Structures are given as C-alpha cells and as structure tokens.
Chains A and B, each alone.
Chain A
C-alpha cells in the first residue's frame, strides 16, 4: 500500500482528546489500521495528553483514596452498594467484539467491518444519481446518521464520475477503500484519507478503472453552534 494522504495533526488531537463523534472515530481508526505512520503520531498525541494531565491544576475532590477503597470493599460484600457503584451508564467493550471477528468482512479495516453486514460488493447500495450509489452506515447502537449527527456513509462512484464543485463542513474525513479519485489536492488511492477543512473547495473525478468506494464521515453540525455564518452544504460526499 502506498499511502500519500494522511490525517492532519488537528484531527489526531481531536481523536486523542475524545472530541470526535463515533463516525469520525471509525474513519480515523480505519486509517490508523492501514497506516503505521499515523498510528505512531496518534500514540504521540496520547502521550501529550498524559503530560498535559500531569501539568493540569487539580480541582478539589470530595472523597479520599481510602473512602473509595472502603466503598469498594463494602460493595464486594453488599450487592446493593455494588449496584450503586455501577449505577453510572458506562459500558465495557462487549466480549463478543473479538469473538465474532472471524465472521466480519475482511475487505475493510475492522472498525468499519463491524458496521457493515457483508463484503462491499454484496451491500444493498442505493442509487443517488447516475453513477453514484450510497450505503448509509449505522452507529454501534443501531442508529443511522442524520443532518443533526453529521454524515456517516459509504459512497460507490463509477469510473469517470465527476462531482460538482463543493466545499466542506468543519471536519470531514473521506477514506478510500477501493479504486481512486483525483482533485486539485492530489490523487487518492486505497488507504488515503482526505482530511479537508472548511476552506477547501474541490471537484473530484473518479480516475480508476473500477468503481471508487469510500467511507465519509463528518462532525455533528449541532456541536458547532458558534460557527456563525458557516452553513453545512448539502454534500454529495467527498
């Protein structure tokens, strides 16, 4: 694999900070699977987070370490307290996640494979326009993306298809899974990620012999109440 387009520092830091929505995390983790260079950068961003945690001024806490351990000890002998302690809505990674891995499509990196029911060719694609098909992805909880949560979808574009000139929302990631396309910012092949900001306007052309399949995710426009005057254009995708 010859990856020439990588994640930006800004996106890696948003990922390290826990600021990205699930759809963007899927695209980031999928690129990180295919790109050890960005994986290394992502680790550095985690280390920066650790250092900043060290450097942060602590706030006051209401309980001591021994309070906490006592509470734990009591909870181990008393189920009611254990329930109280577990009352927060937190989840563990389901055990099945690793167990069912062998049933997943190996066409695409695992973070994405977990969200599609079949190999790319076997998906129930729907047609958006001539030469343009899409498949709407679901979040882990089964929900689909909408205009409030941001986009999360696969696109399948026939060779020669040219998209109209468009610009982007605040964060938009496109990861190529099959085929390739080109625009004024370069050529994007399998594994390449387009991490373009709002300031970029472009018109991509599919230049591979086979259809180009890409996964697209955007941030949630609702989060960006402060972005006065910036309107998320109804985008086709990449």
Chain B
C-alpha cells in the first residue's frame, strides 16, 4: 500500500501566488539571459525537491531520483534561454522537462510528440497559420491565474485523483487500486475535474461534447 494522501497545497489561487509565480518566471528568464547563479539558486530551491518528489512518486529508487533530478535541473540551467514567460509558467516548463527526462531514462528513447513542421499538421479555424503563436504552450497570464483558481476550487476527491494521476503511480488502474475505487469512478472524477478547469479558463468543451468541422 502506498501513501495516497495528496501532499498538495493548491492554495487559493490568490495574488500572493501570482507574485510568487512571477518571481520564478523572472528567475528563469534571468538564467537564460545572463547565466545568473542567484536566480538559479532560487529556481533550484523551489523546484529541486518537487521534481525529486515527482520522480519518487512515480516509483523511482531514491538514489536514481536524486541523480536524475540533478540532471533535470542542469537541463533547466542550460536551456533556460529557450524559456518564454509569455507562453508558460516556469512550473509548466520544468514539469515537461522532468516528465520527458523520466521517459528518456526509463525507455532509452524520447517521448513521442507532435512535430510542428509536419505537412499534415491541422491548424485550428482561428489560426493565422503562425507556427510560433499556435504551437507553443501559449497561455496568457490571466489564464494561468484562472487555471490556478479552478484547480484550488476542485472538490478534494477530484484534487486527489488529479494529483495521483500526475505524481503517483503509472496508470489510472493503479490509482483505482490504491483508492479501492472502480476505474470508472477514477476516470469520471478526472473528467469532472478537467471540465471544471476548462470552464474556469473558458476553453472549449472536451471530447464527445464537441463535433467540429475544420
């Protein structure tokens, strides 16, 4: 049995979190521009223990998790110049690096992703066919705040399955087993959570609810 209580503090999505988030984004920019070591220390202080927690939660041995965390933080140091605060929060950028590095480590090859120069890439109806604005993790500052608020307002049981999905175990089947719930219940909580998040961010609805011509 694994500890399943979410070690999670989603806060209230208030302005204090905004300030903190902005500070971390600025640090990442400073590392990219001037290799600022104080800024790196701040980023490391905030994220190193969280990245390691992510790796451990996913079942990695403690020594491996420590070592891979260090490697991930070195990637953050080296690639910070490609970070754009207009497109994603520092936390999102670092999360995707950690996730991808874990896959590299486990599988020996990269996570399979969309290739932006694919001739079959479909652009949305309101796209200006501008690969840069379309295809990045573009998110505006107010969207980040709305997402944060939406997450903090989720019922506990939904916060719990979301946290477990991303930070514990390797499948929704695992989570169902830990919580002693049918897989269907886990999945429906995830759907409800994503629905509330999309509503909070005023994004289009999810699968099934939409039939779209392109």
Contacts and interface: CB of A to CB of B under 8 A. Distances in A.
Interface of A: 1-10, 12-14, 16-19, 22, 25-26, 28-29, 32-41, 43-66, 68-69, 71-72, 85, 88-93, 98, 101, 106, 108-111, 139-141, 170-171, 191, 195, 197-199, 219, 223-224, 226-227
Contacts of A140: 109-110
Interface residues of B, number: 109
B211 interface: yes
Q: Most chain-A Cβ atoms within 10 A of its Cβ — which of B56, B115, B210?
A: B115
B117 A98 contact: yes
A69 to B, nearest CB: 6
B80 interface: no
Contact of B94 (A34, A36, A38, A50): A50
A101 to B, nearest CB: 7
Contacts of A61: 48-49, 52, 66, 69
Given A9-B195, A88-B67, A223-B170, 5 more contacts: A8-B187, A47-B92, A65-B41, A90-B71, A224-B171
B112 A29 contact: yes
Contact of A72 (B77, B103, B118): B77
Contact of A18 (B21, B77, B99, B212): B99
Nearest to B143: A47
B210 A54 contact: no
A33 to B, nearest CB: 5
Contact of B108 (A9, A55, A89): A89
A19 B57 CA distance: 12
27 contacts: A4-B212, A8-B187, A9-B195, A25-B113, A29-B114, A33-B122, A36-B124, A46-B137, A47-B89, A47-B137, A48-B162, A50-B90, A50-B92, A50-B95, A53-B54, A54-B50, A54-B89, A57-B7, A59-B53, A60-B49, A62-B66, A65-B48, A68-B77, A69-B37, A98-B117, A141-B109, A226-B176
Contacts of B91: 50-51, 53-54
A226 B11 CA distance: 33
Secondary structure class of chain B's binding surface, majority of residues: helix
A66 B166 contact: no
A11 to B, nearest CB: 9
Nearest to B135: A39
A33 B68 contact: no
A82 B43 CA distance: 23
Contact of A111 (B68, B112, B170, B183): B112
Nearest to B172: A10
Contacts of A10: 172, 187, 190-191
Given A34-B120, A48-B147, A224-B173, A17 B197 contact: no
B203 A40 contact: yes
